[in-house]
Every structure is written in C-alpha cells, then in structure tokens.
Amino acid sequence: KRLVMNKGLLAFALVTLSYAVSAQPVKKGTQKSPNVIYIYADDLGYGDLSSYSATGIHTPNLDKLAASGIRFTNGHCTSATCTPSRYALMTGKYPWRKKGTGILPGDAALIIPTDKTTLPKLFKQSGYHTAIVGKWHLGLGEAVAKDWNGEVKPGPNEVGFDYSFIFPATADRVPTVFLENHQVVALEAKDPISVDYKNKVGDDPTGKDHPELLKLQSSPGQGHNQTIVNGIGRIGYMSGGKLARWTDEELSPTFLAKAEDFIRENQHHPFFLYYALTEPHVPRMPATRFKGKSGLGLRGDAILQLDWAVGEILNQLKLLGIEKNTLVVFSSDNGPVLDDGYEDEAVERFKGHAPAGILRGGKYSVLEGGTRVPFIASWPGTIKPQVSPALVSQIDLLSSFSKLLNRPIPQGDATDSENVLDALLGKSQKGRSVLIEQGITELAIVKDGWKYITPNNGEAYMPLVGIETGNLPEPQLYNLNVDAAEKNNLAAKYPEKVKELAGLLDAAKQK
C-alpha cells in the first residue's frame, strides 16, 4: 500500500514538475512584446562606421550588429541638429511645426508635451518598463528659472519613462551633472548648484579668463569658454555642486553601467530602453584607455568608445539569453562635424576619413550629410540580415511600434509619423515615399528620390565648423536615386518637378 501511495505521489510530483518546466520559459507574448533598445549616437555621420564605408576606423561591434540585421542606406533623423531630431523621435511630429525646438541651452524648460502620446508612453501603456539613460537635451522643468537643488521636473519621467538617468543637455553645456529621476546625483546640501546662461555666477574660473587651466582649448570664435569643469570650458556658467560634477572620461562607462543595470533588472519583463550616448559630440574626452587609439584624434577615439559601449550591451543580451527577444535599433541624431568648438585635432588628424561618406554636407546642413545617418535594426531570429534602401526616419518609430504593439495612437498625436514596420523588420524594402529634411535654417523635401531644397539667403558655408549648409539663393533639385552626393542641380532642367515638390512642401507645412 505504501508503494502505491509513493507511486501516486511520484506521479503527482512529475506532473507538477513538468507543468512547472513547461510553464516557466513561456515568456508572456514572446514575439509580440520584444524588448526594444534604441541606441542613439550624437553627431555620428553616415561614413563613420566601417560597415558604412569608413576605412580608417574600425567599429567591429556596430558592424556585427549591422551584419546581424538590416543596414539601412537611406535612414534619417528629421533634423541636422540634436534637439529637433530628439523632439521628433519622442513625439512623432516634425519639430519645425513648433517654435522653440532648436538647439536648447542647458537651462531650458521641457519642450515635450506631458499630455500627448510619446514613444516611451506607447511602451509604458503596453505594459513595458521604460527607461532613458544618457543625453536628454529636451529641457527640464516648467521654466528656465529653476532650482537644480530640489526635484527637477517635469522631465523624462513625466513624458513616459519609468526610470531616467540623464545629463540635461549636451556634454559642452552646463550643468555638467547627472540626474537620476528628479534629482541631481551626488549633490550636497552645503554646496548648492546655480546655473546661468547670461551672467556669470559664483567664482569658478572661465575658459576665457583662464585658458592656462584648460586641458582642451576651445576653437577660436566658437565660444565654449565659460565655466571650466574638468579642465574644459563649457557653454554657460555654473557654480556649486563640486562633488556632483561629472568627469568626462567617466560619462560613457557611467551610462553603460546604468543601462546594463536596467536591462538586468528587467530581463524577465518586457522593457524599452532609450540609450542616448554622447559620442562623438564635443567635448570629445573618452576614457583614458581610448585616447590615442584611433589615430584620428579624440573624435575617432570617441567613436571607438561608442562602439565598445554598444558591444557591451550586445554581449549582455547574449549572456542573459534575451537577444532573440530584443529588437535593437541604432541611429544618430544628426550628421557629423569635425571642429565643433574645441581644438581636439579632429581636423588635423582626419587622414582622409570621410565622416559623411559620399554625402555632401554634415551637421547643420540641409544636404544629405545633415540627416542621412547610420540606421541599423537587428532582432536575431526574426529579422533577416540584409541591406535595405528603404527610406525610413526616426520620426516613424512611434507609428511603427504602435503597429508592433498593436496599440493605436490617439487622433491628433504623432501625426507626422508613418508606419514603416515592414521595412524595419525587413519584410519590405519600401519605406515612406515623402520625407522633409531640416537643416539649421532651411527645409528640403524628398519624394521618391527627388529632392528639392528651398531657395534662401542663408550662408552657403559655415567657415568655423567647415561645413556646407546647402543654402543657395536659387532652387536646388537633385535626383538622389542616381546622385546621392547632390552634385548635379537639375532645377533648371526640370521646372515642373521643382513646382510639384515646392507645392508639396507648402502643403505639408500647412498640415
């Protein structure tokens, strides 16, 4: 009798065990709710990765990511500078529709509406855990005047991120501190922070008065000579917060550690991570072990550091066994620039490296070099490796992920975002057919490969940064299908095409 009972128990135990085993690995909605990591480089150009034509610099981790998924050859940010591109990414609206979306100072108020659909909110409402780690540059608080020593909000947490670990603006703008959720990290009550973009505050030395204290000189005529932090002159003045100020060499390792923590803590739950790196934006001051490594000056070294950080994230996904359940998208917020304010030898040591590849222009340009950037999507096991010519823009991530998550966007929100999910998953090589590109002053419109740049009187060349803007007083028309380098202006030859595109751009502006 005892034996029978034991057999019964054993059977019960086996059934329970097999139930437990079969129940455990079935992660809720494995295919429908992949983790999504959006990795955003800052000022990385179309030609800066070896998978995108660079020969003088090697980026093995990003190349591996590209080879494992889709390498887009016509992927775009909306704008040739940072703030507007990030605004579009968050809201699915073209930034030029709204005033105040240009490059923001470090003390600007939040410009993302808190009551509208945003990219992180879409995920959050779908049950994801959401986080941003890295550069923000979309403003903080209700107003310019704010207390950095209290709770600084609204900010990323109010527009959809459960967790945020950011720096407020750019690496070259004060305050040079991290914020975790609403608080400045490592701030001491006895040493409060003040920030001012008009008048000097406190008695910290400035780059202007004390160039002898600098480890990186600012380029003549380009500012970057106000408060000195870590031997680097910044844009803007700050005082206090001595313990809280970052060391530039630690920026990337710090962001990486925070991103890894978030991934580890959420490995059993769908998550969305916006990992916004600072490389290769100025000041380029990578960790000491990367200095001198590229032979191209600090800009090249910063790109090697960027590639390393991406590699660490990819390794972690593998180690945790979640790489097949994670869609990684990589891109950049605007085109490249060599001298953007510091004498870091990017120009002297570029050794023929073409940061925008075959494209004309770079950061600030309405030419392709301004907004056509590296764009990679990888989801091992789901996306078939390929090179795709589909026209895709970061502004489309909102609508595309709304489709992926099967979560419609309320009317009136994200109205410039198009669903290009099939292109992002490699099921189609066709993306959008029309795209509006924003340079520092002008707009251009692309339709089925034909690009029209509005005539304007802005400067054609920015001598300090050495970049062609694409501004000309006469209309420009390029056939990007055969002339991605924008060498042949066909406006005089095809006046009808010019008219059609100019009309289309006007209509889009009215929308």
Binding site for ligand NG6 (CB under 6 A): 42-43, 81-82, 103, 137, 170, 172, 222-223, 235, 281-282, 334, 340-341
Burial class of residue 463, CB neighbours in 10 A (0-12, 13-18, 19+): exposed
Nearer to Ca ion, 162 or 368 (CB): 368
Quote the CA–CA distance of 271 and 66 in Å, as a whole number. 22
By the rule CB under 5 A, 438 interacts with Ca ion: no
Quote the CA–CA distance of 187 and 178 in Å, as a whole number. 10
Give the residue, chosen from 43, 339, 340, 368, that forms a contact with Ca ion under the rule CB under 5 A.
43
Nearer to ligand NG6, 277 or 376 (CB): 277
Partner from Ca ion, ligand NG6, none binding residue 282, C-beta < 5-8 Å depending on class: ligand NG6
Closest approach of Cβ 80 to ligand NG6, in Å?
8
Nearest residue (beta carbon) to ligand NG6: 82
Nearer to ligand NG6, 234 or 451 (CB): 234
Partner from ligand NG6, Ca ion, none binding residue 340, C-beta < 5-8 Å depending on class: ligand NG6
Closest approach of Cβ 306 to Ca ion, in Å?
13
Enumerate the H helices of 281-336 as residue ranges. 298-320
Closest CA to 73 of 366, 416, 449, 381: 449
Give the residue, chosen from 34, 36, 42, 401, that forms a contact with Ca ion under the rule CB under 5 A.
42
Q: Is 381 left (phi over 0), alpha (psi -120 to 50) or beta?
A: left
Quote the CA–CA distance of 98 and 222 in Å, as a whole number. 27
Partner from ligand NG6, Ca ion, none binding residue 222, C-beta < 5-8 Å depending on class: ligand NG6
In this structure, what token pair is assigned to residue 89? Answer: 């990414």
Give the residue, chosen from 107, 196, 323, 333, that forms a contact with Ca ion under the rule CB under 5 A.
333
Query: How far is residue 252 CA from its own chain's centroid?
Result: 14
DSSP state of 391: -
Nearer to Ca ion, 42 or 162 (CB): 42
Closest approach of Cβ 195 to ligand NG6, in Å?
16
Closest approach of Cβ 371 to Ca ion, in Å?
11
DSSP state of 311: H
Give the residue, chosen from 252, 267, 325, 334, that forms a contact with Ca ion under the rule CB under 5 A.
334
Partner from ligand NG6, Ca ion, none binding residue 344, C-beta < 5-8 Å depending on class: none
Partner from ligand NG6, Ca ion, none binding residue 486, C-beta < 5-8 Å depending on class: none
Closest approach of Cβ 218 to ligand NG6, in Å?
9
Cα dihedral 451/455/457/459 (nearest 10): 20
Closest approach of Cβ 166 to Ca ion, in Å?
15
Taking CB under 5 A as the criterion, which residues in 77-96 touch Ca ion? 82
Closest approach of Cβ 117 to ligand NG6, in Å?
24
Nearer to ligand NG6, 172 or 323 (CB): 172
Contacts 24+ apart (CB under 8 A), 413-417: 413/91, 413/92, 413/116, 413/117, 414/91, 414/92, 414/93, 414/117, 415/92, 415/93, 415/511, 416/88, 416/92, 416/93, 416/94, 416/97, 417/92, 417/93
Neighbouring CB atoms inside 10 A of 28's CB total 10
Closest approach of Cβ 282 to ligand NG6, in Å?
5
DSSP state of 83: H
Nearer to Ca ion, 137 or 153 (CB): 137
Nearest residue (beta carbon) to Ca ion: 82
Neighbouring CB atoms inside 10 A of 63's CB total 18
Helix axis angle for 298-320 and 60-68, nearest 10°, is 50
Nearer to Ca ion, 82 or 229 (CB): 82
Closest CA to 82 of 92, 95, 73: 95
Residues forming contacts to Ca ion in the complex (CB under 5 A) are 42-43, 82, 333-334
